[in-house]
Amino acid sequence: MNTFRRIGKIAIGIVIAVWTLLPIYNMLLIALDDDAAEYSGNIFPVEWSFESFQVVWSQDYWYLEHFWHQFGNSCFIGFTTMVVTVSIGSLASFALGRMRWRYSWVFANATLLTYAVPASFLAIPFVSIMHRYGLSDSLWSVVIAQAMFATPYAILILRQYGCLVPLELDDAARVDGATPWQIFQRIYLPLMAPALVAVGTYALLLAWNEYLYQFLLLSSTESMTVAVALDQFFDSDEAPWNYMMATAIVYAMPPIATYYAMRHYMVAGLTMGGVKG
């Protein structure tokens, strides 16, 4: 019975690993192929060719001319979204979770509504509104869109985590004459640090990985991000797919590294936000 279970577990594990890795392996296979034109149908790379990574690194192909600049833009969007989300989210969660206000539940429910608006549905009016604000082709327009979608999640997680910080601390500070801002700055923020890291990482990944808003809002070479640049490969019929895959792999590295570095915080964040049902 016991060996039976063991074999079952191992079998399930292998199925999960194969399912997860096959598409990723296929990416590597194409990137390592030195023939640009056609996928050769090999299951294993005939010979390892790192040429395509070399090309990406040295920006040696005309689609990739500005690769590192675009990479920088992606970084800017990711980090700024993180900062904006954490700032707005922590302020709002403090007001909703730790101050007395009879109608805070109305507001908390309104944040849930934001959850329910699919991002692609808002995209069409968002683009024309950004035009009206004079933010078209600006990295900030993408930052604002991503921060807006990440903030409701941030508020929910932060409120939940905030329950672990005793309210008596706030009371004591108030008796000593602290203003709400001082409580926020000196008590709330330091004690909430782990949850803030989780929420910030979530926002960073969301902004880095998203495609549609970057594609619709950014068009000039100056403001383009890696995601938009990757999309250009599809415009051409004879694009070198090995370069495209190599670019995609380089582009995928930062979020993967971030996730693995921060995963303990993120899992803790999810656990906090997860059911206490």
Partner 1 sequence: MRGACRRFASRTIGSQGTELAWIAAFLLPYIAVLLAFLLYPLAWALWLGSTPSLYRELIDDPRYFPTALNTIVYVGIGTNVTMFMALLLSGYFMDRNRWIKGLLVLFMLPWALPAIPAFVAWHWMFVGRFGFANSLLEQFFDIEGPIWFNSYVLALGIDIAATVWKWMPFWTLIFLAGRMAIPQEIYDAADVDGAVGIRRFSYVTFPILGNLYFVCTLLSALWSIGEYSGVFFVSGGAPAHSTEVLATYGIHTAFTVGDPPLGMAAMISALPLLVPLTILLMRRVRANEVQL
CB contact set of 159 (below 8 Å; sequence gap of 6+): 93, 96, 97, 108
Q: Which of residues 86-145 bind partner 1 (CB under 8 A)?
A: 87-89, 91-92, 94-101, 104-105, 107-110, 112-129, 133, 144-145
Which CB atom, from 82 or from 210, has the smaller least distance to partner 1? 210
Select from 187, 110, 186, 118 the least CA-distant residue to 155.
110
State which of residues 54, 58, 185, 260 lies at the interface with partner 1 (CB under 8 A): 260
CA 241 to CA 40: how far, in whole Å? 12
State which of residues 4, 23, 235, 238 lies at the interface with partner 1 (CB under 8 A): 23
State which of residues 32, 80, 136, 170 lies at the interface with partner 1 (CB under 8 A): 170
State which of residues 11, 163, 193, 261 lies at the interface with partner 1 (CB under 8 A): 163
State which of residues 139, 159, 223, 265 lies at the interface with partner 1 (CB under 8 A): 159
If binding is defined by CB under 8 A, does position 72 make contact with partner 1? no
Q: Which of residues 204-233 bind partner 1 (CB under 8 A)?
A: 205, 208-212, 216, 227, 230-231
Which CB atom, from 223 or from 246, has the smaller least distance to partner 1? 246
CA 65 to CA 162: how far, in whole Å? 47
Query: Between vectors from CA 196 to CA 193 and to CA 198, what angle results, nearest 5°?
Result: 115
Shortest distance, CB of residue 118 to partner 1, whole angstroms?
2
b vs e for 171-197, b when ≥16 Cβ sit within 10 Å of the residue's Cβ? eebeeeebeeeebbeebbeebbeebbb
**Run of H or E residues at 9:** helix 2-32
| Interacting span for partner 1 (CB under 8 A) from 37-45, 54-62, 64-72, 190-198 | 37-45
If binding is defined by CB under 8 A, does position 33 make contact with partner 1? no
Kindly calculate the radius of gyration of the chain based on its CA atoms and give it in whole angstroms: 23
If binding is defined by CB under 8 A, does position 267 make contact with partner 1? yes
What is the torsional sign of CA 31, 33, 38, 43? Answer: negative
